[in-house]
Amino acid sequence: MVSKLRELKVFSGTSHPGFTEKICESLGIGVAAARLFRFSDGETGVSIEESVRGADVYVVQSTCHPVNENLVELLIILDVLRRASAYRINVVTPYFGYARQDRKTKAREPITAKLVANLIEKAGAHRLIAADLHAGQIQGFFDIPVDHLTGIPLLASHFREILKKEEDGDIVVVSPDIGGVVRARRFAVHLNADLAIVDKRRSHEVANLSEVMEIIGHVDGKVAILVDDIIDTAGTMVQAAEALLERGARKVYACATHGVLSGPAVERIASSPIENLVLTDTIPLPKEKQIDKITTLSIAPLFAEAISRIHSDHSVSILFR
C-alpha cells in the first residue's frame, strides 16, 4: 500500500544539533542534509542539500545564546525552504527566545515576543512547536497554529522517583513568584503535594534583580521543590531557596524547563543551598556548566511524539497536560 503521508524531513539549525539528533532517533529517521556556514563578513549562509518539494519539513532551532545569530539563522532557513517549495514548514523551538518581553511594563518599551512571532510567520512558517513559553498569551501573537508542549510531567516524574522516601505530606511545591503559580499548581497536582508561593519584589531599574519578600504557604519541616520555566542568572531561585530554609524547610530542590544559566548562574547554584537543580535539554548545556548539582533530562522524545502526531494529522492535545 502506498502511504498517503507526505515525506517527513527534519532539519537542524546550529543552536542545538544534539537535540535534533535525539528527535530523529526517536522518529527513526536521519537528520536532513543542509549546510550552514558564515561568509567572511559574518553573514549567515544556508544551503539545503536535498529536495524538499512537497515535503512536510520541521526546522529545529532553539533561539538561545547567541540569540540574535540563532534567530536570524532560523529565519534564513525558513526562507530557503519556502522558496524550495516545501509543502508545510514547521518551526520547532524547544526554547523560544525573547519570550520574556511579552508586554509593555513601562513607557516606550517594545513587545519583542510579538515582533519575533511576526518575523517567523513572514519568513514562511506554517506552525510553531515550543515548550513552556514564558507567557501563555504568546500563542496568540501568532496567526498560525502553535503547539505548546510542557516539561512539567517529565520533571514531576523525575522527582516522584527521587523523593519516594518522603511522605506526600512532607513535600511542598513552591512557585518563585506570583506569575508562576499556575505552573507550580500543575506540578503539585502531579506529585499530590502542597503549594507555596514566594512573594517577591522585582527591581525595574536593574535587570535580573529581585528581592524576596514573603513565603505564602506552609513550608516548615517540608522538602521544597522550586518550579520555574526559565532559570537565567539564578538570582531569584537562590534567594527563594535561602528564604525557604530560613522558614524551616528541610531541603530545597529546584527545577525548570529552560536552563539559560547566564552570567554568574552556575557559580550561584554551586554555592547555594539547593540540593539539586533539574533542567530539560531545550538549551544545550556546555561542559563548563555541567556541575554535580545540575541534572539534565531529555525532552526530545516529547517533541518527537508531537512531530509524529502532527505529521500523521493526529491529536496533539494529550501532550499539553
Averaged pLDDT, groups of 10, the chain, 321 residues long? 73 97 97 96 95 97 97 98 97 96 90 97 97 92 96 95 71 92 95 91 56 84 96 93 94 97 97 97 96 97 96 86 69
Predicted pLDDT at 320: 74
The pLDDT value recorded for residue 205 is: 54
Q: Environment class of residue 103 by beta-carbon count within 10 Å: exposed (0-12), middle (13-18) or buried (19+)? A: exposed
Q: Write out pLDDT tens, residues 142-175.
A: 999 999 999 999 999 999 988 876 554 589 999 9
Confidence (pLDDT) at 1? 33
Examine the residue annotation and report whether 289 is marked as an active-site residue of this protein: no
CA dihedral 35, 37, 39, 45 (to 10 degrees): 50
Q: What is the pTM of this model?
A: 0.92
Provide the pLDDT for residue 163. 84
Q: Taking CA 232 as the corner, what is the angle to CA 158 and CA 222, rounded to the nearest 5 degrees?
A: 45
Query: Is residue 311 classed as helix, strand or coil in its secondary structure?
Result: helix
| Choice among 200, 222, 251, 293 that is catalytic | 200
List, in order, residues 6 or more apart from 205 with CB less than 8 Å away. none
In one-letter notation, the amino acid at residue 268 is R
At which residue does the C-alpha cell 519583542 appear? 112
Determine contact, residues 304/26, Cβ cutoff 8 Å: yes
Nearest to 19 by CA among 279, 311, 315, 239: 279
pLDDT score recorded for residue 2 = 38
At 168, which helix (H) or strand (E)? none
